[in-house]
Amino acid sequence: MAARPWITLLRLVNLSTMLSVRVRGTRLASRVTRTSLSQTQVRNFHSRKDTAPAINKTWRSFAIAGAVSAPGFWLLTSTRDDDVPRLEAPPTGHLVAEPGPSKEEVTRIISQDAYSFPVRSVTGVNRYDGTQLASNSLCEDRFTHGIFPSPLNDGTQWMAWAVFDGHAGWQTAELLKDQLLLFVRHSLSKVKSASTGEKSMPDEVLQHAIVKAFLDLDDSIVKTALQTAQSSEPLQDKLKKLAPAYAGSCALLSMYDSVTGSLHVACTGDSRAVLGQQKPDGTWEAIPLSVDQTGSNEDEVARINQEHPGEENIAKDGRILGMMVSRAFGDSRWKWSLDLQQDLKQRFGGPSPLTPKYDVRTPPYLTAEPVVTTTKIDPGKPSFVILATDGMWDTLSNQQAVDLVGKWLDAQIHGHPISQPKTEYKRVDFGDLGNGVDWEFEEGRTTIQDDNAAVHLVRNSLGGNHHELIAGRLALGSPFSRHIRDDVTVQVAFFNCPHLLPK
């Protein structure tokens, strides 16, 4: 049976490749030049009727190979430069590693995601600063901030700031960033629409509407999972919808009503809000606007035990069935039935059920219900609110954070010079922390050198003017950095501080 032309050509190409390697280029070129092959001969080469001696077939094959391989031959012999990376650095014979962050690099790292906005359109608010420092890759924290129309429909503007501390992934925090304030505004607008002729909304009514918005959003994350699993949607769409239920997030939302001067703070989890208010003697008072909701909070433990009578060891070692926080969005393993956990694990690659490590009998064990507080901002006193995820509060107390911002404000007014360490610190490693070197904030390490108040807090929470300590905490990336520090997100909003507005 005759060989198919394309198979023959393929063989010839292979032959040409081998010959190109074995034969010097000049000899190959000369042989191809001496070989004369007409189109008729090429056609006869593929015919079964060809009775020429084998040697003729060999020469014809060789000639075809030369003709077919001409482009490849050119590529092999060309001296044209190409875009392939050149590895020309000489060997050193020893490990070459980048040095740790310099003082300038420390500032760049903690400032690269910073922002600051002067505010003129909302009475009482002068400015707010913020920043975020990632430890995870991707960072699991999210935040939002800005102006929105009053839900009371009175033509004024409200302001909102919020931080979301994600865990076991960023997906829940990302959803909260986009959706939580929308749910709250919708809930407040429904309450306002139902009221009759009232110019303001009682604090209790407003707080109830905020609570309902939080719970409604969490229900849409958690309780629609069964509907999603049973739907006819494509697999990829189901997985996207289930991801925010697999992960979890705390939420801390603060809203300021410029008409009443009220600051409404809703907290689910262990992110924290603190109000700093200046006293007549010039010092600063720290007023907590939220309380951490964790397995170490005795009130939270008592609430959970009351909701699940007869179940021992729900709260153990400061955790709720292994979870640090006692309230959170998502975290559906603490809210779904065991059967649903197992089904979603098998069908959609969900997280492993809490059993057999934990005794799951009567979920849900976690809730997204927030604790809401309302605080009047005194228009006659300079003040500020600090919102931060627990990555900052791991090393700073409420009062320490307020004092740091107070000193920063004083420096903005009086133009204090950049503070530098007055003494040299001895070499340290992380084994020294807690053994002669304080892991948490230390007054003697305070430094004021940042134009952004949130960056100022982050710097001092990580080591202040102790360069080796702060640079060491920033030297490692994910996943190793998680043993040293958490994701950190900070916002600071200033009230009745007109000197902060640009002139």
Q: Residue 366's Cα: distance from chain center in Å?
A: 23
Smallest Cα–Cα separation from 111: which of 392, 447, 450? 450
Strand partners, 166: 249
How many other C-beta atoms are found inside a 10 Å radius of the C-beta of residue 110? 26
For 342, residues 6+ apart whose C-beta sits below 8 A from its C-beta are 353
**Amino acid, single-letter form, for residue 401:** A
Q: What is the CATH number of the domain that holds 286?
A: 3.60.40.10
- Give the model's pLDDT for residue 501: 82
- Say if 5 falls within a structural domain: no
In degrees, rounded to 5, the angle at the alpha carbon of residue 176 between the alpha carbons of residues 175 and 180 is: 125
For 441, residues 6+ apart whose C-beta sits below 8 A from its C-beta are 395, 396, 397, 400, 460, 461, 464
Q: Residue 432's Cα: distance from chain center in Å?
A: 30
- Say if 6 falls within a structural domain: no
- Give the model's pLDDT for residue 138: 94
Q: φ, ψ for residue 173 (rounded to 5)? A: -60, -40
- Give the model's pLDDT for residue 422: 58
Q: CA-CA distance, 313 to 216, in Å (whole number)?
A: 29
Q: Are 267 and 290 in contact (CB under 8 A)?
A: yes
- Say if 378 falls within a structural domain: yes
- Say if 367 falls within a structural domain: yes
* Cα within 13 Å of Cα(112), Cβ side: 7
Q: Helices 203-222 and 235-246: crossing angle, nearest 10°?
A: 130
Residue with tokens 């960033």: 177
Residue with tokens 């918005």: 213
Smallest Cα–Cα separation from 333: which of 478, 212, 172? 172
How many angstroms separate the first and last alpha carbons of the chain? Answer: 93
Task: Give the residue numbers spanning the domain of 285.
Answer: 103-192+200-500
- Say if 72 falls within a structural domain: no
How many other C-beta atoms are found inside a 10 Å radius of the C-beta of residue 210? 23
Joined together, the tokens standing for residue 443 give 């007054």
- Give the model's pLDDT for residue 19: 42
Q: Which mean pLDDT values do the consecutive 10-residue runs of the chain (503 residues) have?
A: 47 46 41 40 39 47 48 54 82 79 96 97 96 96 96 90 97 97 95 66 94 97 86 92 95 96 97 97 96 97 96 93 97 94 92 92 97 96 97 97 97 71 77 81 93 98 94 92 94 94 77
Q: How many domains is the chain partitioned into structurally?
A: 1
* Cα within 13 Å of Cα(55), Cβ side: 0
- Say if 50 falls within a structural domain: no
Element (H, E) at 118: strand 115-118
- C-alpha to C-alpha distances, 84 to 72, 80, 81, 87, 274, nearest whole angstrom: 18, 12, 9, 10, 56
- SS3 category, 272: strand
- Say if 459 falls within a structural domain: yes
In degrees, rounded to 5, the angle at the alpha carbon of residue 121 between the alpha carbons of residues 116 and 126 is: 45
Q: CA-CA distance, 171 to 176, in Å (whole number)?
A: 9
- SS3 category, 444: helix
Q: Residue 239's Cα: distance from chain center in Å?
A: 20
- Give the model's pLDDT for residue 82: 84
- Say if 18 falls within a structural domain: no
For 371, residues 6+ apart whose C-beta sits below 8 A from its C-beta are 266, 267, 268, 290, 291, 293
- SS3 category, 463: coil
Handedness of CA 345, 346, 352, 356 (dihedral sign): positive
Joined together, the tokens standing for residue 394 give 């791991």
- SS3 category, 430: helix
Q: Residue 400's Cα: distance from chain center in Å?
A: 26
Strand partners, 158: 148, 257
